[in-house]
Amino acid sequence: MLSSSIAFFLFISLIAFTTSDFSMHVSFVVHNYQLLLFNISIIMLLYIVEFSYILFPHVENFFVIRVDCSIFVFYS
């Protein structure tokens, strides 16, 4: 369990860069399977949310702005 605001910021930054890089690389290579990519992104997002609940139980809500300007809002 992490309680530092710096650790939280680094964790959220890692999420933003990892998910956006994954989506960009896969969608560049396989551009015909947008629905599949969307489902993969949603599943990854759910795992991230579940993992963040364990690491940061004190956080009530937060959001992630990815490189492609999409915004994820997480509520605990």
Using CA atoms, how far apart are residues 14 and 25, in angstroms rounded to an integer? Answer: 16
Q: Indicate the pTM of the whole model.
A: 0.28
pLDDT digits (tens, 9 = 90+) for 4-59: 666 666 666 666 655 555 445 444 444 444 555 555 566 666 666 666 666 666 66
Count of all residues that appear for the chain in the document = 76
Using CA atoms, how far apart are residues 60 and 43, in angstroms rounded to an integer? Answer: 22
The domains of the chain are located at: 5-75
Report pLDDT for 60.
Answer: 61
